[in-house]
Amino acid sequence: MGILDYQLVDRLILSNVWGTEGCALVFKNKSTVICRCNHTTSYAVLMQVVSYKPVVEHYTALKYVSYLGLALSITSLLLMLIILLYLRTLQTVRVKIHKCLAVCLLAAQVTFVAGITSTGEKVICKVIAFVMHYLFLSVFTWMLCEGLNLFILISYPTSHVEFPPFTIIGFVLPLIVVAITGGIKYDNYVSSTSCWLNVEDGVIFAFVGPAILIILVNIVILGIVLHVFLRVKKNIEKCLKEKIRSGLRAGCVLLPLLGITWMFGILTMDHSTLFFTYLFCLINSLQ
């Protein structure tokens, strides 16, 4: 909430220096204007390691791209879970990992939409940041489980894989990271502009660090999978052009599942890298 000379406010709004989106007038007289503004943000804030905010036009566009993508994603995840729960015969380890990944991603996206801008109450905002930190880390650890399961199926096709060890990776490891981060950086845990990890104090790396590590592991796994895929007998017989096309198709299917598309968020630094911000918001809000 701010108190400013109303003529100055009017001039700033008319000259497009300030935007009125997300703001409501609380009180105004001849000498004073009091307004309350909710911070708006885009999905790209999750992987930004520098404090950067695009100009108003791009910021608004990114917000709409993010929330439209999230609406479609949440709807699709709900449909997916309903289908998988209905088809009770699908009880393989792979499907169970899919379910856990879908539940974590659904919960994370719903929390993001409902709470990312709830900066009015510090305690509630911090709780939201803790919950989102855990949920989005869980998304990544379950994507790691997807990669590890895929690696086992490709490298040891006759082995029997049990599901319980994956639950330790998927649910327990993120909890340990969040607990350690919260204990060390409790006072500076949350950003001043959104209910997410503090960039200025480096808390954001408690999410970005593990995310990058998991992505790198999954990139190696993707390379192994594509190598095995292209060496399958029916693919060996194809011409080079067809083999490349088959490999690209398989890669495109696996990229979002293994979280590799989240790397675009790291490339968002300033106005010159705005393209990657749009790419991140579009691809990952639709994950």
Report H helices in the chain: 6-14, 56-86, 93-115, 122-155, 164-167, 173-184, 205-231, 233-236, 240-257, 263-266, 274-285
Reading the block at residue 47, the tokens are: 């992987």
Q: Is the pLDDT of residue 4 over 50?
A: no
User: 115-163 pLDDT, tens per residue?
Assistant: 998 888 889 999 999 999 999 999 999 999 988 988 888 888 778 888 9
Looking at residue 5, what is its pLDDT? 44
Query: What type of residue is 264?
Result: F
Q: Name the residue with tokens 């905010």.
A: 53
Q: Is the pLDDT of residue 37 over 80?
A: no
Task: Answer for the pair 128, 41: CB distance below 8 angstroms, yes or no.
Answer: no
CA distance linking residue 160 with residue 169, whole number of Å: 18
Q: Is the pLDDT of residue 41 over 60?
A: yes
Q: Is the pLDDT of residue 2 over 50?
A: no
CA distance linking residue 265 with residue 276, whole number of Å: 7
User: 182-193 pLDDT, tens per residue?
Assistant: 999 999 999 888
pLDDT (mean) for 91-116: 92
Smallest CA-to-CA distance from 161 within 175, 149, 173 is with: 149
